[in-house]
C-alpha cells in the first residue's frame, strides 16, 4: 500500500476545508481560506494505521528511541507510530509533552518512558509557524533528549519550516499545503 497516497486521499476527502473567503480562524487568530482538521484522520483506526506506517517508514533508518510532541495534536501520531514500530520489532516509545508542567505530584512536563540522552523525533499534525513544535522541542531538549528532527503531516507553508531550521532542527513534512490545495 502507498501510505502517502492513501493519506493524501483521506486528507482531501475528510480533513481539508476550503472557502472562497477567509472564514476559518486559526489558533494564531489569523483568518484563512482553508482549514485542515487532521483529527478526523489521526483519531480514526484506519487513519492511525496509515499514519503510523508512514511515519515509522520515515524514521526507522534513523533509529530513534522515541517519538512525541505537544499534546494533543502529536499524541495519536506518536501512539500509532509506536504501535507500528513494535509490530515491526523495532520499538519506538511514544512520549507526551504537556503544555505546562504538571501542577501536582512530580510536576513533570514530559510523560512517557524517555530518559535524558535518548534520540527522539518531535511530531505534529499541522505546522503553521511551528510554535507548538518548537515548544515541544525546547522542553524535550531541556530534559536532555537529542532531537533528530521535527515531522509534520502538513506544512501550511507560513513560516514554520524557516522557524524550525532557524532553531537548528531538521524538518520533514509529509505534505506541503500547496500540494494538497493543487490536487
CATH of domain 46-176: 3.40.50.2020
42-46, 62-66, 105-109, 156-160: least confident range: 105-109
Q: Give the per-residue pLDDT at 103.
A: 77
Is 92 assigned to a binding site? no
pLDDT of residue 60 exceeding 80: yes
Is 98 assigned to a binding site? yes
Is 154 assigned to a binding site? no
Is 39 assigned to a binding site? no
Is 85 assigned to a binding site? no
Q: Which three cell numbers stand for residue 157?
A: 507553508
Is 128 assigned to a binding site? yes
Q: Give the per-residue pLDDT at 176.
A: 98
Kindly report, residue by residue over 77-119, the tens digit of the pLDDT. Answer: 999 999 999 999 999 999 999 999 877 777 789 999 999 999 9
* 110 contact partners, CB below 8 Å, separation of at least 6: 68, 95, 96, 97, 98, 139, 140, 143
Is 124 assigned to a binding site? yes
Beta bridge partners, 179, equal none
Q: Which residue ranges make up each domain of the chain?
A: 46-176
Dist CA 121 CA 64 (whole Å): 7
Is 146 assigned to a binding site? no
Amino acid at each position: 500500500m502507498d501510505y502517502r497516497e492513501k493519506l493524501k486521499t483521506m486528507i482531501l476527502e475528510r480533513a481539508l476545508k476550503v472557502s472562497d473567503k477567509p472564514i476559518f480562524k486559526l489558533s494564531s487568530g489569523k483568518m484563512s481560506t482553508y482549514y485542515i482538521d487532521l483529527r478526523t484522520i489521526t483519531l480514526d483506526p484506519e487513519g492511525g494505521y496509515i499514519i503510523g506506517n508512514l511515519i515509522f517508514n520515515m524514521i526507522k533508518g534513523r533509529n530513534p528511541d522515541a517519538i512525541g510532541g505537544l499534546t494533543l495534536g502529536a499524541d495519536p501520531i506518536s501512539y500509532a507510530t509506536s504501535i507500528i514500530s513494535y509490530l515491526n520489532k523495532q520499538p519506538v516509545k511514544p512520549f507526551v509533552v504537556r503544555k505546562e508542567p504538571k501542577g501536582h505530584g512530580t510536576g513533570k512536563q514530559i510523560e512517557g518512558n524517555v530518559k535524558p540522552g535518548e534520540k527522539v523525533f518531535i511530531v505534529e499534525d499541522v505546522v503553521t509557524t511551528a510554535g507548538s513544535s518548537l515548544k515541544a522541542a525546547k522542553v524535550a531538549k531541556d530534559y536532555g533528549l537529542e532531537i533528530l528532527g521535527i515531522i509534520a503531516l502538513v506544512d501550511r507553508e507560513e513560516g514554520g519550516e524557516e522557524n524550525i531550521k532557524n532553531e537548528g532542527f531538521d524538518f520533514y513534512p509529509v505534505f506541503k499545503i500547496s500540494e494538497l490545495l493543487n490536487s
